[in-house]
């Protein structure tokens, strides 16, 4: 991937993420978020990690951003108008952006490749990445060296799911929902009877 | 230049086959309902799709006054472009593929999950109740059936030992995956019906309640692009089904291998196309809650369980392909 196209993509990502914060219509800002994700996926494809890029598109764009869009569309949000609160929100936003971007710059100056974040030494990693495709390499690393983190991530997701279900589950006793099983298992003998009248 | 020629050599036949797909749909449905179907324009109606296309091209483009114009115009373009993009990785025959990437299955899956955006943005931007409700229904349906499709794809990828489409077809030289994985083949076909919003899952289009779903406000070329994108997606899903379960370009018996692979591929796609049309003619529409409970309560657990079954089967017989 040439430097010019990387630069162009980076500019596109940065400008759309800036617009994301500044646009007034919330639906537009979710669509810009999608644009940021897709552009970063293209950037990842450019540096040769197709699997992660496609996973980014499938999971973040195909599922999570769709849910964001759903919620934002159904909430009936009014377009934000400028008022007194706006200024304080604006300053908080500026502080957040500045701290985040300075952290990023710090990371860039630190030189990524010299950082090894765990007991695993980087030589093994480069050895794997030369003989295997990126998908196989990821699988080897994830299930050999990082399987504890992988399992922990799964448990975290499970807790989130259980929490969401507990928050929304409410069993009503007088609910009139139809149960297909009960409807289908009705027999003629049980359903019909001769009523007796007393004169 | 060569790349451009390659792209054109896929897009032009694709658009032609979409046009004749619509004609085949009307003819076959006519046959099922004991009428003739279109038979006036050209010989036995063979020029009917061209006439339809010309009519749509000559119509006036109407832009609703309260619509979000940029998104309103971009949405059909997005749907159409995404339906064309998927064809870049489809192998039509031995060495007959534009780009044979290592994660072709995931690419197709990502494209199909992106195509939801064309629908939901068109429904939202036209600023109409019917379009919005249709778009919400359609999106919810597509997202929920994608989950079971992903597990089904994983089953096939584990049997083949690769995400590469060509490798998946090569793995079926001994036996098509249709035979050992028959239950999830049926599941995949039903999910692809739901994914492409076809009968019996065409709730987004429900003429009776929602007029015609997310594309009510579109006219002329906007509508034509949605229409083309929808039918190209149906063809894409059928070719995906052929690649995963019916062995792509491979002939059914090796005696017949003198017939070129692309002809076999086309024949198999036509089989699925006829199935799609047949189902449209004979099946009534599902209710929306039935559709959702089918997707989440039956298809998802079944495909997840089948994935576990396939993995443990392969492990216990030491048949894992890599």
Residues A21, A32: Cα–Cα separation, whole Å: 9
B234-276 pLDDT tens trace: 999 999 999 999 988 888 888 888 888 889 999 999 999 999 9
- Please judge whether B102 and A27 are an interchain contact, meaning their C-beta atoms are less than 8 angstroms apart: no
Chain B's closest residue to A180, CA to CA, is B290
Residues B14, B236: Cα–Cα separation, whole Å: 10
- Residue A16 in contact with residue A36, Cβ under 8 Å? yes
- First vs last Cα of chain A: how many Å apart? 95
Higher pLDDT, residue A84 or A43: A43
* pTM higher than 0.95: no
Contacts of B149 (CB under 8 A, 6+ apart): B109, B188, B191, B192, B195
Chain A's closest residue to B136, CA to CA, is A70
Give me chain B's average pLDDT, please.
Answer: 89
> What distance lies between CA A194 and its chain's CA centroid?
60
Higher pLDDT, residue A1 or B202: B202
- Please judge whether B146 and A50 are an interchain contact, meaning their C-beta atoms are less than 8 angstroms apart: no
Q: Is B9 exposed, middle or buried (0-12, 13-18, 19+ CB in 10 A)?
A: exposed
Rg of the Cα trace of chain B? 20
Whether A58 contacts chain B with CB within 8 A: yes
Residues B92, B39: Cα–Cα separation, whole Å: 32
pLDDT of residue A50: 84
What's the 3-state SS for A68-107?
A: HHHHHHHCCCCCCCCCHHHHHHHHHHHHHHHHHHHHHHHH
B14-73 pLDDT tens trace: 999 999 999 999 999 999 999 988 888 888 888 998 998 888 888 888 888 888 888 999
Chain A's closest residue to B68, CA to CA, is A28
> What is the nearest CA distance from B112 to chain A, expressed in angstroms?
9
Q: Which of B101, B124, B140 minimises the CB distance to A50?
A: B101
CA geometry: angle B128, B134, B137, nearest 5 deg? 140
> What is the nearest CA distance from A108 to chain B, expressed in angstroms?
30
B99: how many CB neighbours lie within 10 A of its CB? 10
> What is the nearest CA distance from B7 to chain A, expressed in angstroms?
20
- Please judge whether B121 and A135 are an interchain contact, meaning their C-beta atoms are less than 8 angstroms apart: no
ipTM, 2 decimals?
A: 0.85
- Please judge whether A62 and B71 are an interchain contact, meaning their C-beta atoms are less than 8 angstroms apart: no
B69 conformational bin, left if phi > 0, alpha if psi -120 to 50, beta if neither: alpha
Mean pLDDT confidence for A9-31: 86
Chains A, B: CB pairs < 8 Å:
54
Token pair of A26 as six digits: 């919330």
Nearest to B239 by CA among B201, B268, B198: B268
Residue A16: C-alpha distances to residues A19, A38, A65, B113 (Å): 5, 11, 15, 22
pLDDT of residue B89: 92
A142-155 pLDDT tens trace: 888 888 888 999 99
Residue B141: C-alpha distances to residues B144, B152, B197, B216, B295 (Å): 5, 17, 8, 19, 8
Q: Which of A27, A63, A135 minimises the CB distance to B103?
A: A135
Whether A66 contacts chain B with CB within 8 A: yes
Which of A53, A62, A137, A180 should one mutate to test binding to chain B, selecting the residue with the greatest count of B CBs within 10 A? A62
> What is the nearest CA distance from B107 to chain A, expressed in angstroms?
6
Residues A82, A100: Cα–Cα separation, whole Å: 25
Which of B117, B118, B286 should one mutate to test binding to chain A, selecting the residue with the greatest count of A CBs within 10 A? B117
* Residues in chain B within 8 Å Cβ distance of A135: 102-103, 163
3-state secondary structure (DSSP) of residue B229: helix
Q: Where are the alpha helices (DSSP H) in B89-128?
A: 104-114, 116-125
Residues B265, B268: Cα–Cα separation, whole Å: 5
Nearest to B184 by CA among B150, B233, B142, B140: B150
pLDDT of A32 > 60? The answer is yes
Which of B112, B113, B150 should one mutate to test binding to chain A, selecting the residue with the greatest count of A CBs within 10 A? B113
Residues B245, B180: Cα–Cα separation, whole Å: 10
Chain A's closest residue to B293, CA to CA, is A180
B61-93 pLDDT tens trace: 888 888 888 899 999 999 999 999 999 999 998
Q: Which sign does the torsion angle of CA A34, A37, A42, A45 carry? A: negative
3-state secondary structure (DSSP) of residue B310: helix
Residues A64, A164: Cα–Cα separation, whole Å: 15
Q: Which of B110, B121, B163 minimises the CB distance to A62?
A: B110
- Please report the residues numbered 249 through 268 in chain B whose beta carbons come closer than 8 angstroms to any beta carbon of chain A: none
Q: Which of B102, B120, B136 minimises the CB distance to A50?
A: B102
Token pair of B26 as six digits: 């009307």
Residue A68: C-alpha distances to residues A56, A157, B143 (Å): 16, 18, 13
pLDDT of residue B23: 92
* Residues in chain A within 8 Å Cβ distance of B140: 70
> What is the nearest CA distance from B313 to chain A, expressed in angstroms?
21
Whether A50 contacts chain B with CB within 8 A: yes
Residue B102: C-alpha distances to residues A133, B165, B169, B179 (Å): 9, 8, 13, 25
Residues B263, B250: Cα–Cα separation, whole Å: 10
Q: Is omega for the bond preceding B200 within 30 degrees of 0, making it cis? A: yes
Whether A143 contacts chain B with CB within 8 A: no
pLDDT of residue A126: 62
Residue A89: pLDDT band with limits 50, 70, 90: low
Residues B153, B151: Cα–Cα separation, whole Å: 5
- Residue A135 in contact with residue B163, Cβ under 8 Å? yes
Residue A190: pLDDT band with limits 50, 70, 90: confident
> What is the nearest CA distance from B70 to chain A, expressed in angstroms?
11
B172-201 pLDDT tens trace: 988 899 999 999 999 999 999 998 888 888
3-state secondary structure (DSSP) of residue B218: coil
Residues B140, A140: Cα–Cα separation, whole Å: 35
- Residue A36 in contact with residue A64, Cβ under 8 Å? no
> What is the nearest CA distance from B111 to chain A, expressed in angstroms?
8
Q: Is B279 exposed, middle or buried (0-12, 13-18, 19+ CB in 10 A)?
A: middle
């Amino acid at each position: 991937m040439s430097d010019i196209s990387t630069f162009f993509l980076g500019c596109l990502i940065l400008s759309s993420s800036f617009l994301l914060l500044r646009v007034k219509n919330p639906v537009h800002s979710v669509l810009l978020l999608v644009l940021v994700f897709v552009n970063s996926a293209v950037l990842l494809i450019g540096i040769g990690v197709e699997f992660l890029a496609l996973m980014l598109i499938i999971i973040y764009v195909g599922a999570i951003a769709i849910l964001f869009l759903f919620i934002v569309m159904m909430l009936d949000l009014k377009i934000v108008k400028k008022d007194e609160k706006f200024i304080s929100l604006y300053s908080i936003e500026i502080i957040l952006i500045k701290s985040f971007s300075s952290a990023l710059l710090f990371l860039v100056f630190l030189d990524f490749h010299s950082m090894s974040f765990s007991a695993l030494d980087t030589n093994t990693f480069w050895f794997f990445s030369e003989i295997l495709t990126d998908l196989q390499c990821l699988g080897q690393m994830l299930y050999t060296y990082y399987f504890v983190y992988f399992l922990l991530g799964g448990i975290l997701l499970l807790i989130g799911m259980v929490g969401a279900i507990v928050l929304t589950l409410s069993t009503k006793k007088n609910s009139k929902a139809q149960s297909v099983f009960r409807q289908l298992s009705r027999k003629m003998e049980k359903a019909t009877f001769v009523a007796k009248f007393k004169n | 230049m060569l790349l451009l020629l390659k792209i054109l050599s896929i897009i032009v036949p694709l658009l032609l086959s979409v046009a004749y797909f619509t004609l085949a749909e009307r003819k076959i449905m006519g046959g099922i309902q004991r009428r003739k179907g279109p038979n006036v324009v050209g010989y036995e109606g063979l020029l009917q799709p061209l006439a339809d296309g010309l009519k749509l091209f000559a119509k006036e483009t109407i832009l609703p006054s309260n619509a979000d114009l940029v998104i309103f115009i971009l949405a059909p373009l997005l749907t159409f472009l995404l339906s064309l993009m998927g064809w870049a990785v489809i192998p039509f025959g031995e060495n007959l593929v534009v780009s044979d990437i290592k994660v072709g299955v995931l690419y197709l899956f990502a494209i199909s999950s992106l195509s939801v955006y064309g629908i939901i943005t068109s429904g939202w931007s036209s600023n109409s109740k019917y379009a919005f409700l249709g778009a919400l229904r359609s999106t919810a349906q597509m997202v929920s059936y994608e989950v079971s499709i992903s597990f089904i794809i994983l089953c096939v990828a584990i049997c083949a030992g690769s995400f590469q489409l060509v490798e998946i077809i090569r793995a079926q030289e001994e036996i098509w995956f249709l035979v050992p994985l028959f239950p999830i083949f049926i599941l995949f076909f039903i999910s692809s019906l739901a994914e492409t919003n076809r009968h019996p899952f065409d709730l987004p289009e429900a003429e009776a309640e929602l007029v015609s779903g997310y594309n009510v406000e579109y006219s002329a070329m906007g509508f034509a692009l949605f229409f083309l994108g929808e039918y190209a997606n149906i063809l894409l899903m059928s070719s995906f089904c052929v690649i995963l379960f019916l062995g792509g370009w491979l002939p059914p018996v090796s005696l017949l291998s003198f017939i070129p692979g692309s002809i076999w591929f086309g024949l198999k796609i036509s089989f699925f196309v006829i199935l799609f049309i047949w189902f449209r003619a004979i099946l009534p529409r599902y209710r929306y809650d039935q559709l959702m409970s089918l997707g989440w309560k039956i298809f998802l657990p079944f495909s997840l369980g089948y994935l576990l079954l396939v993995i443990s089967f392969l492990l216990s017989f030491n048949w894992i392909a890599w």
